[in-house]
């Protein structure tokens, strides 16, 4: 199981969360990555944690002011990127081009989507993984794996029918090790987390609990 902690634009210390994640990953052998704001990628990567971007732009080098260029991301030490998160929905053509940009910079890719149909569509574009996050559960108190287990199963099936080599993650409301285990039991290869870790009083304790069942 891959545990990806998305720090969004939260009012948190990304370096402190990253250091906690690096410690837990090293001690437990779990794979934990942290995705901070683009401006903080270098500081996060310097902690030694596996570092991901929250987004890269669907562009090659050139006149693209205000873009998040995949090469600039990779130069900081980041090794992967989310694409099409529900808070940064992209045009279909731009997901495709964003995957090309990420591939060119040797970044791993996870394309997010709302439902199994969109998961199938995202899988057809050839990312390393897809992630299903029902918008109505994001930021909520109940884990997708218990609130809507069918959507996880259906997403796993939908991706598998298109391309069995693409991993499937799930996210929304995941907060505990039980939630992670439930996601795994539904066929997920990883989980996306956000406020449950980023805004916790003790992110390290939360992360230890999260990876405990793995």
Report if residue 11 touches a second copy, rule: CB under 8 A: yes
Report if residue 114 touches a second copy, rule: CB under 8 A: yes
Q: Which residues pair with residue 5 across a beta bridge? A: 34, 193
**Shortest distance in whole angstroms from residue 12 CB to a second copy:** 9
Q: Is 89 or 106 the residue whose CB approaches a second copy more closely? A: 89
**Shortest distance in whole angstroms from residue 53 CB to a second copy:** 8
Cα angle, residue 80 at apex, residues 13 and 78 outer, rounded to 5°: 55
Q: Per the structure block, which two tokens stand in for 163?
A: 């391309």
Q: Which of 55, 85, 161, 204 is catalytic?
A: 85
Alpha carbons 136 and 124: distance in angstroms, whole number: 25
CA-CA distances (angstroms) from residue 164 to 62, 67, 71, 134, 152? 35, 32, 28, 22, 15
Q: Is 133 a catalytic residue?
A: yes
Phi–psi pair at 188, nearest 5 degrees = -75, 145
Q: Which of 27, 133, 136, 161 is catalytic?
A: 133
Q: Is 27 a catalytic residue?
A: no
Neighbours of 91 (CB within 10 A): 11
**Shortest distance in whole angstroms from residue 181 CB to a second copy:** 25
Residues within window 16-55 making contact with a second copy, judged by CB under 8 A: 36-43, 53-55
**Among residues 79, 162, 181, 200, the one that binds a second copy under rule CB under 8 A:** 162
Alpha carbons 34 and 45: distance in angstroms, whole number: 9
Q: Per the structure block, which two tokens stand in for 60?
A: 């090659």
Report if residue 202 touches a second copy, rule: CB under 8 A: no
What is the binding site for a second copy (CB under 8 A)? Answer: 6, 8-11, 14, 36-43, 53-55, 57, 59-69, 71-73, 75-76, 78, 82, 84-96, 113-115, 117-118, 120-126, 138-139, 158, 162, 194-195
């Amino acid at each position: 199981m891959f545990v990806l902690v998305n720090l969004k634009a939260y009012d948190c210390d990304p370096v402190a969360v990253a250091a906690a994640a690096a410690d837990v990953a090293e001690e437990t052998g779990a794979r934990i990555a942290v995705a901070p704001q683009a401006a903080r990628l270098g500081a996060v990567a310097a902690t030694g944690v596996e570092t991901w971007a929250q987004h890269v732009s669907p562009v090659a080098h050139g006149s693209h002011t205000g873009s998040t260029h995949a090469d600039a991301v990779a130069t900081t030490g980041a090794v992967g990127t989310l694409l099409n998160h529900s808070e940064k929905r992209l045009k279909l053509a731009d997901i495709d081009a964003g995957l090309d940009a990420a591939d060119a910079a040797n970044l791993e890719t996870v394309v997010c989507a709302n439902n199994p149909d969109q998961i199938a569509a995202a899988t057809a574009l050839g990312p390393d993984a897809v992630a299903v996050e029902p918008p109505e559960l994001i930021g909520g108190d109940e884990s997708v794996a218990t609130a809507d287990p069918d959507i996880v199963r259906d997403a796993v099936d939908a991706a598998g029918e298109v391309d069995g080599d693409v991993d499937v993650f799930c996210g929304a409301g995941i907060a505990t090790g039980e939630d992670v285990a439930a996601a795994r039991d539904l066929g997920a290869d990883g989980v996306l987390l956000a406020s449950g870790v980023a805004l916790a009083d003790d992110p390290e304790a939360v992360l230890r609990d999260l990876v405990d069942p793995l």
